Structure 1
């Protein structure tokens, strides 16, 4: 590619004014710093058009989470919350990404207490006083995805449950704080794992974060355990989620054999998760969907 060719990222700009310096920086990173770790494929680097698309989708996704959060209360069934989010996303011109994804039957995931993720909303599932609830929403707008989840405490929960929800959020925040342009993917998991273990909690290892863009799950897989200075190089233009699943008990999980979706803690201990979609910038990180 010459300096005056159109850039490989699809921005429509000349290479010399777009990703030339980016490519030179990656090429010139000393091998003793890379230590054999993985350079990100160009296919996952987002241009300005992509980023704006994800940002617009995130605006709808964030508002859908706000709407669900405003209606969560003791006595409401989770299907009603699902319909609220579904209708709102459609009204805004978006598509609920979860609906019919690999056979998933609802538009959002609602996971309660010992459900780690992928809880299926139902008229029969009524929220009770003391429940801790994860609501996970993914929106598609004009082909771009946005993904986030939040925890909600219904009524008055136990101190044990409240502490787990707080620490799980801190784990996510510390994982995000560990993201540095030209740092490494393993830095995220190292930060999450250290904080969880310091509180006596475990981190689910079978599930993790992922890249975000024009597909539901893109590269890279984002583990929430790991070692600093290992894994894929993190560079400006990457968009990914940090979404640690933190258990009071052991880290192992099981999938419901009846619905093939709902993931429980194997020991039925409480679990909590927070998630944001994040853009890596030249200066740090920007939360898009949260």
Structure 2
């Protein structure tokens, strides 16, 4: 594994292992989505994650990470990220729920996130999810050798702001590999007065826009983990782990 400006560059074997970790994550997220419906306790999704990790023989990446007590981040409506699954919280018609999930496979990490609609949601909520998902793919399209890291950020920011939505600034994407969080950080906005690193083949990045119907301002609840929008507006979150290659960006967190 080589380094470029503090960023680990992965070889083909390492990318293959990261790909398998992410394929498992994607498979689990597929199953979570199949179980999203009104009346379901959010702890069901935690149970599915732990059972599938045991089935696949992998370790949940988030469980115990810096003290996080669950395998799954389950965030509903105004919860942005790091929400707790619960036996007593039930999904209701019109909610949106975000799942952020990771595993460790043979020493390498997978990490991906999706937001799902619970039953019939408002047009506003549907638009928020669609814009966040498309912003992710616009950012991914810029992940090519020779581009600057902040071209990813600009693509996300420019698309989201076309719709007047807020872009969360407190939480950002990251490099990933033998560690869950590696350099570089990948903001979903272009920081003023900073210079992003050039992108090189072998970089593996977790790109993850978090977008709100209101402002970008965030609060963390008393559990010290759950991040919510300060104005309590809805938030959506989509994430893919991708590899930068000479043939263009390769999405690793899919089942295809």
Q: TM-score, normalised by structure 1?
A: 0.84
Matched residue, 2:198: 233
Superposition map of 1:1-290 within 5 A: 9=2, 40-41=4-5, 44-226=8-190, 230-256=195-221, 258-290=222-254
Q: Do 2:7 and 2:184's aligned partners in 1 also have CA atoms closer than 8 Å?
A: no
Q: TM-score, normalised by structure 2?
A: 0.95
The alignment covers a number of residue pairs equal to 253
Deviation sequence 1:107-126 (CA, Å, 0-9, x none): 11111110010011010110
Matched residue, 1:25: none
- Structure 2: where are the runs of 5+ without partners? none
Q: Do 1:40 and 1:234's aligned partners in 2 also have CA atoms closer than 8 Å?
A: no
CA–CA distance in structure 2, aligned partners of residues 90 and 211 of structure 1? 26
Higher relative contact order (CA 8 A, sep 6+): 2
TM-fit CA distance, 1:76: 0.6
TM-fit CA distance, 1:41: 2.9
Deviation sequence 1:29-58 (CA, Å, 0-9, x none): xxxxxxxxxx93365100122111101111
Rg larger for: 1
**RMSD, aligned CA:** 1.6
TM-fit CA distance, 1:226: 1.0
CA–CA distance in structure 2, aligned partners of residues 56 and 65 of structure 1? 14
